[in-house]
Protein backbone atom coordinates (compact mmCIF):
# COMPACT_ATOMS: atom_id res chain seq x y z
CA UNK A 1 0.00 0.00 0.00
CA UNK A 2 2.87 2.39 0.76
CA UNK A 3 4.35 1.59 -2.65
CA UNK A 4 0.93 2.27 -4.17
CA UNK A 5 0.89 5.69 -2.50
CA UNK A 6 4.35 6.36 -3.91
CA UNK A 7 3.13 5.37 -7.37
CA UNK A 8 0.23 7.80 -7.06
CA UNK A 9 2.60 10.59 -6.03
CA UNK A 10 4.95 9.86 -8.94
CA UNK A 11 2.49 9.13 -11.73
CA UNK A 12 -0.95 10.38 -10.68
CA UNK A 13 -4.01 8.65 -12.08
CA UNK A 14 -3.58 6.23 -15.00
CA UNK A 15 -4.12 8.32 -18.14
CA UNK A 16 -5.85 5.60 -20.15
CA UNK A 17 -8.06 2.70 -19.20
CA UNK A 18 -8.62 3.84 -15.63
CA UNK A 19 -10.46 1.03 -13.80
CA UNK A 20 -12.58 3.52 -11.84
CA UNK A 21 -13.80 5.04 -15.11
CA UNK A 22 -14.58 1.54 -16.35
CA UNK A 23 -16.56 0.85 -13.19
CA UNK A 24 -18.47 4.08 -13.74
CA UNK A 25 -19.46 3.01 -17.25
CA UNK A 26 -20.59 -0.37 -15.92
CA UNK A 27 -22.66 1.36 -13.23
CA UNK A 28 -24.31 3.59 -15.83
CA UNK A 29 -25.16 0.58 -18.00
CA UNK A 30 -26.66 -1.26 -15.03
CA UNK A 31 -28.63 1.81 -13.97
CA UNK A 32 -30.53 1.71 -17.25
CA UNK A 33 -31.95 -1.62 -16.09
CA UNK A 34 -32.24 -1.09 -12.33
CA UNK A 35 -33.46 2.50 -12.01
CA UNK A 36 -36.79 2.95 -10.30
CA UNK A 37 -37.93 5.88 -8.24
CA UNK A 38 -37.72 4.01 -4.96
CA UNK A 39 -35.15 3.13 -2.32
CA UNK A 40 -35.34 -0.64 -2.74
CA UNK A 41 -34.20 -0.39 -6.35
CA UNK A 42 -31.30 1.78 -5.24
CA UNK A 43 -30.37 -0.72 -2.52
CA UNK A 44 -30.32 -3.53 -5.10
CA UNK A 45 -28.21 -1.42 -7.49
CA UNK A 46 -25.72 -0.68 -4.71
CA UNK A 47 -25.57 -4.29 -3.53
CA UNK A 48 -24.90 -5.67 -7.01
CA UNK A 49 -22.08 -3.26 -7.76
CA UNK A 50 -20.36 -2.95 -4.39
CA UNK A 51 -20.86 -6.62 -3.60
CA UNK A 52 -19.52 -7.62 -6.99
CA UNK A 53 -16.39 -5.50 -6.63
CA UNK A 54 -15.69 -6.58 -3.05
CA UNK A 55 -16.31 -10.23 -3.92
CA UNK A 56 -14.01 -10.11 -6.92
CA UNK A 57 -11.34 -8.38 -4.80
CA UNK A 58 -11.64 -11.05 -2.11
CA UNK A 59 -11.23 -13.78 -4.71
CA UNK A 60 -8.19 -12.02 -6.16
CA UNK A 61 -6.71 -11.65 -2.69
CA UNK A 62 -7.11 -15.36 -1.97
CA UNK A 63 -5.65 -16.30 -5.35
CA UNK A 64 -2.54 -14.17 -4.86
CA UNK A 65 -1.90 -14.90 -1.17
CA UNK A 66 1.43 -16.66 -0.76
CA UNK A 67 2.45 -15.93 -4.35
CA UNK A 68 4.74 -13.39 -5.96
CA UNK A 69 1.69 -11.64 -7.40
CA UNK A 70 0.38 -10.38 -4.06
CA UNK A 71 2.74 -7.38 -3.92
CA UNK A 72 2.25 -6.03 -7.48
CA UNK A 73 -1.52 -6.58 -7.30
CA UNK A 74 -1.80 -4.65 -4.02
CA UNK A 75 0.46 -1.87 -5.31
CA UNK A 76 -1.60 -1.55 -8.49
CA UNK A 77 -4.91 -1.59 -6.61
CA UNK A 78 -3.72 1.09 -4.19
CA UNK A 79 -2.43 3.24 -7.04
CA UNK A 80 -5.70 3.19 -8.98
CA UNK A 81 -7.95 3.94 -6.00
CA UNK A 82 -5.92 6.83 -4.59
CA UNK A 83 -6.46 10.31 -5.99
CA UNK A 84 -4.31 12.62 -3.86
CA UNK A 85 -1.75 13.51 -6.49
CA UNK A 86 -4.34 14.31 -9.15
CA UNK A 87 -6.38 16.29 -6.62
CA UNK A 88 -3.45 18.55 -5.74
CA UNK A 89 -2.45 18.86 -9.38
CA UNK A 90 -5.93 20.11 -10.31
CA UNK A 91 -5.87 22.57 -7.40
CA UNK A 92 -2.47 23.85 -8.55
CA UNK A 93 -3.85 24.30 -12.08
CA UNK A 94 -6.70 26.44 -10.74
CA UNK A 95 -4.17 28.44 -8.73
CA UNK A 96 -2.09 29.07 -11.86
CA UNK A 97 -5.12 30.28 -13.81
CA UNK A 98 -6.16 32.61 -10.99
CA UNK A 99 -2.60 33.93 -10.83
CA UNK A 100 -2.86 34.72 -14.54
CA UNK A 101 -6.23 36.48 -13.95
CA UNK A 102 -7.89 34.05 -16.35
CA UNK A 103 -11.24 33.73 -14.56
CA UNK A 104 -13.12 32.02 -17.43
CA UNK A 105 -10.49 29.27 -17.63
CA UNK A 106 -10.36 28.94 -13.84
CA UNK A 107 -14.16 28.57 -13.69
CA UNK A 108 -13.96 25.83 -16.29
CA UNK A 109 -11.06 24.01 -14.60
CA UNK A 110 -12.68 24.08 -11.15
CA UNK A 111 -15.44 21.85 -12.54
CA UNK A 112 -12.94 18.97 -12.27
CA UNK A 113 -12.99 19.45 -8.50
CA UNK A 114 -16.46 20.61 -7.43
CA UNK A 115 -20.10 20.03 -8.26
CA UNK A 116 -21.25 23.59 -7.55
CA UNK A 117 -22.01 26.06 -10.33
CA UNK A 118 -18.85 28.17 -10.84
CA UNK A 119 -20.14 30.34 -13.70
CA UNK A 120 -20.52 33.49 -11.58
CA UNK A 121 -17.84 32.89 -8.95
CA UNK A 122 -15.24 35.58 -8.34
CA UNK A 123 -11.57 34.74 -7.80
CA UNK A 124 -11.79 34.40 -4.02
CA UNK A 125 -14.90 32.21 -4.26
CA UNK A 126 -13.07 29.98 -6.75
CA UNK A 127 -10.19 29.77 -4.28
CA UNK A 128 -12.62 28.81 -1.51
CA UNK A 129 -14.17 26.10 -3.67
CA UNK A 130 -10.70 24.79 -4.45
CA UNK A 131 -9.59 24.65 -0.81
CA UNK A 132 -12.84 22.99 0.29
CA UNK A 133 -12.44 20.36 -2.41
CA UNK A 134 -8.84 19.69 -1.41
CA UNK A 135 -9.96 19.21 2.20
CA UNK A 136 -12.94 16.94 1.54
CA UNK A 137 -11.25 14.85 -1.14
CA UNK A 138 -8.08 14.35 0.86
CA UNK A 139 -10.33 12.43 3.23
CA UNK A 140 -12.34 10.65 0.52
CA UNK A 141 -9.57 9.94 -2.01
CA UNK A 142 -6.58 9.27 0.26
CA UNK A 143 -7.31 8.72 3.95
CA UNK A 144 -10.41 6.54 3.51
CA UNK A 145 -9.02 4.08 0.94
CA UNK A 146 -5.78 3.72 2.91
CA UNK A 147 -7.78 3.06 6.09
CA UNK A 148 -10.03 0.45 4.52
CA UNK A 149 -7.12 -1.17 2.71
CA UNK A 150 -5.27 -1.47 6.01
CA UNK A 151 -8.17 -3.09 7.87
CA UNK A 152 -9.67 -5.20 5.05
CA UNK A 153 -7.04 -5.66 2.33
CA UNK A 154 -8.03 -5.64 -1.34
CA UNK A 155 -11.79 -5.90 -0.62
CA UNK A 156 -11.45 -2.81 1.57
CA UNK A 157 -9.49 -0.85 -1.02
CA UNK A 158 -11.64 -1.67 -4.03
CA UNK A 159 -14.95 -1.97 -2.21
CA UNK A 160 -14.52 1.48 -0.69
CA UNK A 161 -13.73 3.01 -4.09
CA UNK A 162 -16.91 1.44 -5.48
CA UNK A 163 -18.95 2.94 -2.62
CA UNK A 164 -17.42 6.39 -3.06
CA UNK A 165 -17.76 6.36 -6.85
CA UNK A 166 -21.44 5.42 -6.68
CA UNK A 167 -22.07 8.21 -4.16
CA UNK A 168 -20.52 10.68 -6.60
CA UNK A 169 -22.69 9.33 -9.40
CA UNK A 170 -26.10 8.91 -7.80
CA UNK A 171 -25.91 10.09 -4.18
CA UNK A 172 -27.62 13.40 -4.95
CA UNK A 173 -30.83 15.00 -3.71
CA UNK A 174 -32.19 15.53 -7.20
CA UNK A 175 -35.63 14.38 -8.38
CA UNK A 176 -34.06 11.39 -10.17
CA UNK A 177 -31.81 10.24 -7.34
CA UNK A 178 -33.54 11.38 -4.15
CA UNK A 179 -34.86 7.82 -3.63
CA UNK A 180 -32.72 5.71 -5.96
CA UNK A 181 -29.49 7.24 -4.66
CA UNK A 182 -30.46 7.09 -0.98
CA UNK A 183 -28.54 3.87 -0.30
CA UNK A 184 -25.44 5.13 -2.12
CA UNK A 185 -25.34 8.31 -0.05
CA UNK A 186 -25.99 6.56 3.28
CA UNK A 187 -23.40 3.82 2.67
CA UNK A 188 -20.81 6.42 1.70
CA UNK A 189 -21.54 8.35 4.90
CA UNK A 190 -21.04 5.16 6.89
CA UNK A 191 -17.85 4.14 5.07
CA UNK A 192 -16.32 7.58 5.58
CA UNK A 193 -17.28 8.13 9.21
CA UNK A 194 -14.09 6.78 10.79
CA UNK A 195 -11.72 7.95 8.01
CA UNK A 196 -13.12 11.48 8.19
CA UNK A 197 -12.41 11.63 11.93
CA UNK A 198 -8.92 10.25 11.28
CA UNK A 199 -8.36 12.91 8.61
CA UNK A 200 -9.63 15.56 11.02
CA UNK A 201 -7.22 14.42 13.75
CA UNK A 202 -4.28 14.34 11.33
CA UNK A 203 -5.17 17.84 10.09
CA UNK A 204 -5.28 19.21 13.62
CA UNK A 205 -1.89 17.64 14.37
CA UNK A 206 -0.37 18.96 11.13
CA UNK A 207 -1.59 22.56 11.52
CA UNK A 208 1.74 23.94 12.88
CA UNK A 209 3.55 22.56 9.81
CA UNK A 210 1.64 25.00 7.56
CA UNK A 211 1.94 27.98 9.88
CA UNK A 212 -1.33 27.31 11.67
CA UNK A 213 -2.47 26.36 15.13
CA UNK A 214 -3.68 22.97 16.31
CA UNK A 215 -5.72 24.75 18.97
CA UNK A 216 -7.48 26.87 16.35
CA UNK A 217 -8.14 23.81 14.21
CA UNK A 218 -9.62 21.89 17.13
CA UNK A 219 -11.74 24.90 18.12
CA UNK A 220 -13.12 25.22 14.59
CA UNK A 221 -14.07 21.54 14.52
CA UNK A 222 -15.83 21.64 17.88
CA UNK A 223 -17.66 24.88 17.17
CA UNK A 224 -18.39 24.78 13.44
CA UNK A 225 -18.35 21.24 12.03
CA UNK A 226 -22.03 20.64 12.79
CA UNK A 227 -23.02 23.63 10.63
CA UNK A 228 -22.05 21.67 7.51
CA UNK A 229 -24.80 19.43 6.07
CA UNK A 230 -22.36 16.52 5.66
CA UNK A 231 -21.45 14.62 8.85
CA UNK A 232 -18.05 13.77 7.38
CA UNK A 233 -17.06 16.75 5.25
CA UNK A 234 -17.98 19.12 8.09
CA UNK A 235 -15.23 18.07 10.54
CA UNK A 236 -12.61 17.81 7.79
CA UNK A 237 -13.34 21.21 6.24
CA UNK A 238 -13.59 22.85 9.66
CA UNK A 239 -10.20 21.38 10.60
CA UNK A 240 -8.65 22.68 7.37
CA UNK A 241 -10.19 26.11 7.99
CA UNK A 242 -8.77 26.28 11.50
CA UNK A 243 -5.38 24.88 10.51
CA UNK A 244 -5.03 27.38 7.64
CA UNK A 245 -6.47 30.27 9.65
CA UNK A 246 -9.14 31.00 7.05
CA UNK A 247 -12.93 30.98 6.77
CA UNK A 248 -14.62 28.31 4.67
CA UNK A 249 -18.26 27.44 4.06
CA UNK A 250 -21.09 29.65 2.89
CA UNK A 251 -23.78 29.44 0.24
CA UNK A 252 -23.21 27.27 -2.84
CA UNK A 253 -25.38 26.63 -5.86
CA UNK A 254 -25.81 23.02 -7.05
CA UNK A 255 -27.80 22.55 -10.25
CA UNK A 256 -29.94 25.55 -9.39
CA UNK A 257 -30.41 24.54 -5.73
CA UNK A 258 -28.76 26.79 -3.12
CA UNK A 259 -27.20 25.07 -0.11
CA UNK A 260 -25.95 26.88 2.98
CA UNK A 261 -22.91 25.10 4.41
CA UNK A 262 -22.52 27.38 7.39
CA UNK A 263 -19.36 29.23 8.41
CA UNK A 264 -16.27 27.15 9.18
CA UNK A 265 -13.37 28.85 10.93
CA UNK A 266 -13.02 32.46 12.05
CA UNK A 267 -10.15 33.72 9.91
CA UNK A 268 -10.30 35.93 6.81
CA UNK A 269 -11.87 34.69 3.58
CA UNK A 270 -9.79 32.37 1.42
CA UNK A 271 -7.52 33.91 -1.22
CA UNK A 272 -5.52 32.37 -4.04
CA UNK A 273 -2.42 32.16 -1.83
CA UNK A 274 -4.20 29.70 0.45
CA UNK A 275 -4.47 27.06 -2.28
CA UNK A 276 -0.73 26.31 -2.07
CA UNK A 277 -0.95 26.00 1.72
CA UNK A 278 -4.00 23.73 1.44
CA UNK A 279 -2.11 21.48 -0.98
CA UNK A 280 0.83 21.32 1.41
CA UNK A 281 -1.48 20.44 4.30
CA UNK A 282 -3.18 17.76 2.19
CA UNK A 283 0.17 16.15 1.38
CA UNK A 284 1.20 16.10 5.05
CA UNK A 285 -2.15 14.58 6.04
CA UNK A 286 -1.77 11.98 3.28
CA UNK A 287 1.63 10.96 4.59
CA UNK A 288 0.20 10.77 8.10
CA UNK A 289 -2.60 8.55 6.82
CA UNK A 290 -0.05 6.28 5.13
CA UNK A 291 1.88 5.96 8.39
CA UNK A 292 -1.36 5.16 10.23
CA UNK A 293 -2.29 2.56 7.61
CA UNK A 294 1.14 0.97 8.00
CA UNK A 295 0.61 0.69 11.76
CA UNK A 296 -2.87 -0.75 11.27
CA UNK A 297 -1.44 -3.20 8.76
CA UNK A 298 0.84 -4.62 11.44
CA UNK A 299 -2.14 -5.75 13.52
CA UNK A 300 -4.39 -8.77 12.92
CA UNK A 301 -7.14 -7.93 10.42
CA UNK A 302 -9.57 -9.40 7.93
CA UNK A 303 -6.91 -9.52 5.21
CA UNK A 304 -5.09 -12.19 7.24
**145 within some domain:** yes
- The segments of the chain whose pLDDT lies below 50 read 302-304
Q: Which residues contact 115 (CB under 8 A, 6 or more apart)?
A: 254
Domain total of the chain: 1
In a domain, 303, yes or no: no
> Looking at the domain assignment, is residue 44 inside a domain?
yes
> How high is the pLDDT of residue 304?
46
Spell out the SS3 assignment of the chain: CHHHHHHHHHHCCCCCCCHHHHHHHHHHHHHHHHCCCCHHHHHHHHHHHHHHHHHHHHHHHHHHCCCCCHHHHHHHHHHHHCCHHHHHHHHHHHHHHHHCCCHHHHHHHHHHCCCCCCCCCCHHHHHHHHHHHHHHHHHHHHHHHHHHHHHHHHHHHHHHHHHHHHHHHHCCCCCCHHHHCHHHHHHHHHHHHHHHHHHHHHHHHHHHHHCCCHHHHHHHHHHHHHHCCCCCHHHHHHHHHHHHCCEEEEEEEECCEEEEEEEECCCCECCCHHHHHHHHHHHHHHHHHHHHHHHHHCCCCCCC
In a domain, 192, yes or no: yes
Looking at the domain assignment, is residue 302 inside a domain? Answer: no
Residue 304 lies in a domain: no
**Residue 299 CB-density burial (10 A; 0-12 exposed, 13-18 middle, 19+ buried):** exposed
Question: Is residue 253 one of the residues assigned to a domain?
Answer: yes
Domain containing 200: what range? 1-297
* Any domain includes 77: yes
Amino acid sequence: MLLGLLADELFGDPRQGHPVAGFGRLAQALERRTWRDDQLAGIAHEAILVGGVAGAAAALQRATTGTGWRLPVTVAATWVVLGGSSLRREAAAVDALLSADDLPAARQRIRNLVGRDPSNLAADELARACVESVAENTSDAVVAPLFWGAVAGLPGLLGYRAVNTLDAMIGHRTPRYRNFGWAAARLDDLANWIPARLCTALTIAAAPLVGGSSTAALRAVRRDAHHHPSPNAGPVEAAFAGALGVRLGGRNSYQGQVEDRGTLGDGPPVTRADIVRANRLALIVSLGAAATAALLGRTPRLAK
